Structure 1
Amino acid sequence: MKTPIVTSEAPVLLVGGGPCDPEALRADAAACPVRVAADSGAGALLGIGVPPDAVIGDMDSLSEIDRAQLPARVLHPIAEQESTDFDKALRNIDAPLVIAHGFLGARLDHQLAALTVLARRPARRCVLVGRHDVAVLAPPALALDLPAGTRVSLFPMAPVTGRSTGLRWPIDGLRFSPDAVIGTSNEALGRVELALDGPGMVLILPVAHLAALRSALDAQPAGWPARA
């Protein structure tokens, strides 16, 4: 197996070129000791005064102004065009959690591509953070402490089944798939517990509940194995 470019025992911040909330980005940059940019995401980090520890991507959108501020040792060009810069970066980060800004909230095709990468890399635990929502590939089991009435959306990127407690509309017995049954706009009754039979389910929550999601992920170390 190829050695990852970035290895960390602590959560890693990954920043893409899409819209970011500067205050949220500053907070996560302060909380994550390692900061990585996917190509032009370097500009967002430099814009808040945080130089990236690594820049990964095909480098086709990294501006010359930003490139001039970066030492050559942090640049890790990957020339192939079969994957997105998000995929190039995520598959080259080995960390317990990746907090990713700049991949939600811009172009719809880019958002769909990012969700596809989550499904493609089930062993890489990554939370996408946008201005309004957070999204993660749900692990085999998860217990979330949420206020009653919180929007809880489940979107399958592949056929998947599971069980739940604490949702207004339980998922038990449902066969989810992206072209059939989906679980958007469900609602928490309080504490929500999910158990899934396989990878492929994207969990989407309001961004205000990022801390609750991170706590739940920290309490559930078991994840999905890497795809063959």
Structure 2
Amino acid sequence: MEDIIVRRSSGITLLGGGKVRPDELTESLKHCPFLVAADGGATFAVSMGHIPEAVVGDMDSLPDEVAAAIPADRIHAIAEQDSTDFDKALRSISAPLVLGVGFLGGRVDHQLANLNVLVRRAETACILLGRRDVIFAAPRRLRLDLQGGSRVSLFPMSPVQGRSKGLQWPIDGLEMAPGARIGTSNRVCEGHSGPVDMKFDGPGMLVILPRAALRQAISALVPLSGDVHG
């Protein structure tokens, strides 16, 4: 069993050490008001006047002057080197929704590692915010309220099959897998009425939507509310 460091009934913004624009953090905090930093993500938080509720990671990227600005009991060092700081933080928090900022747009190997964590920790509803995209691991059934023509990219991180209603190119009967068939650059049918419905036979599918579809992604993962203030 994982040790939970922060448990909230409302949404948590998880801040990574990648490049983040101030408006991205502000937008995330509007939806998920509690701030947790993954290691060096605390540097940007403090520079913006935010003291994280917790800092989780191996602390190899946390400058001394930043650590000094944060109460010592909020800093939680996890020394093992077998997982990323994103993984350490995500497994240490419990909330109805986590919005991850600062985990996309940097080094490709870091981004791939973060996407790997998304599917391995799919029991946690987590959306990563990038400059142009939002990315999350699909639950077994997914309903998205998107306009006709909106981009819906599907990328399997493990073998998975599914069915769809409302996509320009249905996925019914397709065997999707990394290194084989994928589903990027699909889109909602023009004139489609009602939500896009997708069902998957197992875990492992990443859903990539335009950044403008953040609210729809939140509503799909947390159906009772577009904001998660608990």
TM range (shorter): over 0.9
TM normalised by structure 2 equals 0.92
Matches within 5 A, 1:1-228: 1-189=1-189, 190=192, 191-219=195-223
Deviation at 1:33, TM superposition (A): 3.2
Distance 1:31 1:125, change over 3 A: closer
Deviation at 1:220, TM superposition (A): 8.0
Deviation at 1:4, TM superposition (A): 0.3
Structure 1 residues not aligned, in runs of 5+: 222-228
Paired with 1:159 and 1:4, the residues of 2 have a C-alpha distance of: 30
SS in 2 for 1:167: coil
Paired with 2:86 and 2:79, the residues of 1 have a C-alpha distance of: 13
Question: Match of 2:76, as an amino acid?
Answer: H
Structure 1 contact 26–48 (Cα < 8 Å) conserved = no
Paired with 1:153 and 1:220, the residues of 2 have a C-alpha distance of: 24
Structure 2 contact 2–91 (Cα < 8 Å) conserved = no
Paired with 2:32 and 2:163, the residues of 1 have a C-alpha distance of: 33
SS in 1 for 2:166: strand
Question: Match of 2:219, as an amino acid?
Answer: S
SS in 1 for 2:209: strand
What is the aligned-residue RMSD (CA, Å)? 1.4
Structure 2 residues not aligned, in runs of 5+: 226-230
1:48-84 deviation digits (Å, cap 9, x = unpaired): 2111000000000111221121111010000000000
SS in 2 for 1:160: coil
Paired with 2:83 and 2:3, the residues of 1 have a C-alpha distance of: 18
Distance 1:3 1:82, change over 3 A: closer
Q: How many residues align?
A: 221
- Greater shift, 23-32 or 201-210, is seen at 23-32
Structure 1 contact 164–192 (Cα < 8 Å) conserved = yes
Deviation at 1:24, TM superposition (A): 2.2
Corresponding residue for 2:228? none
Structure 1 contact 37–52 (Cα < 8 Å) conserved = yes
SS in 2 for 1:214: helix
Moved beyond 4 Å, runs of 4+: none
Q: Between the two proteins, what is the percent identity of the paired residues?
A: 53
Deviation at 1:2, TM superposition (A): 3.7
Paired with 1:123 and 1:32, the residues of 2 have a C-alpha distance of: 18
Corresponding residue for 1:224? none
Structure 2 contact 166–188 (Cα < 8 Å) conserved = yes
1:138-192 deviation digits (Å, cap 9, x = unpaired): 0111111112111110000000011001111000000110011100111112431
Question: Match of 1:38, as an amino acid?
Answer: A
Paired with 1:62 and 1:3, the residues of 2 have a C-alpha distance of: 22
Deviation at 1:3, TM superposition (A): 3.2
Structure 1 contact 162–173 (Cα < 8 Å) conserved = yes
Paired with 2:2 and 2:174, the residues of 1 have a C-alpha distance of: 38
